[in-house]
Structure 1
Amino acid sequence: MKPFLNIFTFTGEASRSEWWCVYIGVWALWFVLAQVDTVLNGAEETGSWFVVVYLVSFWPLWTTQVRRWHDRGKSGLWCLINFIPVIGSLWAFIELGFFQTKEDDDAWMN
């Protein structure tokens, strides 16, 4: 339950398990909603409600990623790496999803 209590804050840190819980949860939500949208609207068009849910769901992804970068001992500005096509998002996924916590407490604040 803890991963979903911290989705509104950029402060602090997020463990790998918390990061995975939020990411898998949001991706599962997107998958289910895409299936529902296809059934309701057909494969040719996307319902506007799905676009709203898609945009709103970026908030927990963003806050969790910032806190995970903090846990890795880096600034939350590392989220900007996602804007580098393919390589940036791939690196963020690998580092945040598979690398361990940085041992130096609050290293990102120094």
Structure 2
Amino acid sequence: MLEIFSFTGRYGRVMFWFIMAISTGLSWLSGQLAFKKATFENGFIMPDTSDPRFWVSAGLVVLAFWLSAAACIKRLHDRGKTGWWYLLLFVPVFGPLWVLIELGLLPGTGRDDNGYGPRNDLAGRPVRKTASQEDREMFQAENRRRKAMEAAHVKDQDAPTLQVERRRQVMDRLRIPPAERTGFGRRRYI
């Protein structure tokens, strides 16, 4: 629960919008509390600072700002950028528009670890690799190595030791049984 206040880690778009909704709600509540007993003096609306509700609302404003800043910085981390980009928010007109597009609409980098921590699921928890993901990555790395060797016209010295059976096992794990096909047009592999 306390990790929503930290400035480290990553947030996806869903968690970002959830935290921003909480922050907006806190800001609205603080406005309702602060100006409950406001007076109009010299052309300005002046809140009653002797009322304890004013100070509660001031605390809510600080909390809302902290939550939104942490969410924006974590979202920037998910996009592969440093938290210093958050300062663009304070540029008039361009800043809020940039935040809406960059943080609210565009997807993250998609990489499991981009230097700011592991990718998160919808609840904000780090995504763990499964055995099949590791096998798929191993198979893809092997294919990249073979293609690089073919491009360099180098004979594969390790061909006998690569164990054709191991590759067949990996391919069998990647194959989706007919009952588990996940969508139209999917055929043999994920």
Match of residue 61 from structure 1: 68
1:86 positional shift: 1.7
Work out whether 1:96 is the aligned partner of 2:83: no
Query: Alpha carbons of 1:106 and 1:85: their partners in 2 closer, same or farther (altered >3 Å)?
Result: farther
Match of residue 3 from structure 2: 6
Work out whether 1:74 is the aligned partner of 2:71: no
Q: For residues 43-86 of structure 1, what are the alpha-carbon distances to aligned partners after superposition, in whole Å with 9 as ceiling and x for unaligned?
A: 72235422332123211111111110011111111101112112
The amino acid across from 1:66 in the alignment is: I
| Number of equivalenced pairs | 106
Q: Which runs of 5+ in 1 are unaligned?
A: none
2:31 to 21, 24, 34: 34
Work out whether 1:22 is the aligned partner of 2:19: yes
1:28 positional shift: 1.2
Moved over 6 A (4+): none
Higher radius of gyration, 1 or 2: 2
Query: Alpha carbons of 1:21 and 1:37: their partners in 2 closer, same or farther (altered >3 Å)?
Result: same
8 Å contact kept, 1:7–1:59: no
Kindly, what percent of the aligned residue pairs are identical? 32
1:8 positional shift: 2.2
Q: Which runs of 5+ in 2 are unaligned?
A: 117-190
8 Å contact kept, 2:4–2:70: yes
Query: Alpha carbons of 1:57 and 1:5: their partners in 2 closer, same or farther (altered >3 Å)?
Result: same
Give the Cα separation in 1 of the matches to 2:112 and 2:84: 18
Which is helix-richer, 1 or 2?
1
Match of residue 83 from structure 1: 90
RMSD: 2.1
Instruction: Identify which of structures 1 and 2 has the higher relative contact order when contacts are C-alpha pairs closer than 8 Å and 6+ apart.
Output: 1
Give the Cα separation in 2 of the matches to 1:35 and 1:102: 39
**Could you state the TM-score of these two structures normalised by the residue count of structure 1?**
0.79
Counterpart secondary structure, 1:27? helix
The amino acid across from 1:80 in the alignment is: L
